[in-house]
Amino acid sequence: MNNTQLRIISATVLLCIFLAFMNFGPLYMMSFILVIFIGLMDEVLFNFTKVSRSNFRYFFFQILTILIAITFFAVDLSPTIIKYIHFSGLFVNFLFLIVLFLNVEKSTKFFSLLKNRSIIWPTMTIVWMLNFLSLFELTQWKILVWGIILLNFSSDSCAWFFGKNFGKRPLWKAVSPNKTIEGAIGGLLCSVFISWVYWWNFLDQISILFIFLLALMAVGAQLGDLIQSRVKRIFDIKDSSNLIPGHGGIYDRFDSLLFVMPIYLVIIRYYLKLN
């Protein structure tokens, strides 16, 4: 079985699991997300920042991850707290974007700081987790979850498909030599089109501005993937783990989704005005 077949099978299995938990209701869905976050935090701590699984900091951040997830399910957080969570996510994104566009030497120093100060990166990861969990605070969470899943994974999958079959010109060789301009454009256009078709069923009117915002999120998804590629190149890591056959680890699969989530939540609250 080649890698392409393995990727498709793994993605199909993950989708089926996701659908099952989603249909069971928010409690089951949140439990599923919690398991994903525990695995994600394990990869950040153990594989990137090299914190031993017997270290106090490892247990601290894993317990903190569990407590945060339970709090989100058990307590109705105020709109003010939710707003601060969203904008803290945008701030973390902004920091990573700055580092992405720095030269290799400066970005290496930044990520070395994250590695040596092993409290910083897990804290940033928790900020992304908080943004993801806040999506389940909204009444129409099922519609919104499907909206971001379709946008993110269509961008990722279509970029991979077009890059593999039609890609000739490197997108950013210093960051990710396998990504191509053709793949990025294909992923962007497909993601916007699929998302437009999806949202057509729920919005009275699809404006030009909303299409632009969809494109902005699709670009954000690709930037999140590029950031992760730069991180792995600096630390000489091929995959965050080998948990998901054909895809690597949880961080490999959800990096762009976590990055685009704060942008998505701001659009939901301040443009779509959904709650």
Q: How do residues 39-53 score in pLDDT, each as one tens digit?
A: 999 988 888 878 888
Count of CB atoms situated within 10 Å of the CB of 4? 12
CA separation, residue 114 to residues 111, 119, 122, 185, 239 (Å): 5, 8, 9, 32, 18
pLDDT tens for each residue of 173-203: 777 778 898 999 999 999 999 999 999 988 8
pLDDT of residue 99: 76
Least confident of 20-29, 35-44, 187-196, 256-265: 20-29
Please report which confidence band the pLDDT of residue 105 belongs to, taking 50, 70 and 90 as the band edges: low
CB 213 within 8 Å of CB 199 = no
Q: CA-to-CA distance for 274 and 210, rounded, in angstroms?
A: 14
Which residues does 254 contact at the CB level (< 8 Å), separation at least 6?
A: 36, 40
CB 170 within 8 Å of CB 179 = yes
Q: CA-to-CA distance for 172 and 153, rounded, in angstroms?
A: 21
In this prediction the pTM is 0.86
Which residues does 226 contact at the CB level (< 8 Å), separation at least 6?
A: 100, 172, 175, 176, 179
Q: CA-to-CA distance for 158 and 186, rounded, in angstroms?
A: 6
* Domain locations along the chain: 3-272
Block residue for tokens 């989530």? 261
Average pLDDT over residues 5-34: 78
